[in-house]
């Protein structure tokens, strides 16, 4: 009985992950932020088909999940950068495996 409960909990977590990263643009936004923090306009330029409205929505979702950190830099001019948290960076490394598979097989 305990094994079934543990298995159901693990499946629930996996399902939650796939629901989150399965949303259009989520994986590409994480991919774009893997190398270094970027401003909104830089992320938008990296993913040309992504509308600003949708990018804003997805970034907020990634922040809410604890994957992306929003940093306001108060120097003149004031600007905002987005970076991956440790949790987000670990997800990016996992998604890199999927990216490698896609490059080999698609």
Q: What is the pLDDT of residue 14?
A: 85
Whose CA is closest to 81, among 95, 54, 93, 63?
A: 63
Over range 5-25, report the average pLDDT: 83
Q: How many residues does the chain have?
A: 106
Q: What is the pLDDT of residue 6?
A: 65
Q: What is the pLDDT of residue 17?
A: 87
* 105 vs 37: CA distance, rounded Å: 30
DSSP bridge pairs for 79: 73
pTM: 0.85
Helices 26-33 & 2-21, crossing angle to 10 degrees? 80
Over range 68-96, report the average pLDDT: 95
Domain 2-105 top-level CATH class: mainly alpha
Over range 91-103, report the average pLDDT: 94
pLDDT at 15 over 70: yes
pLDDT band at 99; cut points 50, 70, 90: very high
CB 95 within 8 A of CB 27: yes
pLDDT at 1 over 60: no
pLDDT at 32 over 90: yes
């Amino acid at each position: 009985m305990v094994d079934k409960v543990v298995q159901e909990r693990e499946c629930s977590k996996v399902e939650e992950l796939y629901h989150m990263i399965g949303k259009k643009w989520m994986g590409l936004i994480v991919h774009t932020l893997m190398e270094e923090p970027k401003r909104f306009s830089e992320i938008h330029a990296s993913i040309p088909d992504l509308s600003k409205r949708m990018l804003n929505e997805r970034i907020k979702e990634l922040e809410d999940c604890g994957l992306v950190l929003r940093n306001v830099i108060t120097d003149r001019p004031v600007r905002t950068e987005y970076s991956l948290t440790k949790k987000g960076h670990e997800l990016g490394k996992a998604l890199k495996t999927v990216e490698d598979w896609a490059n080999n097989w698609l």
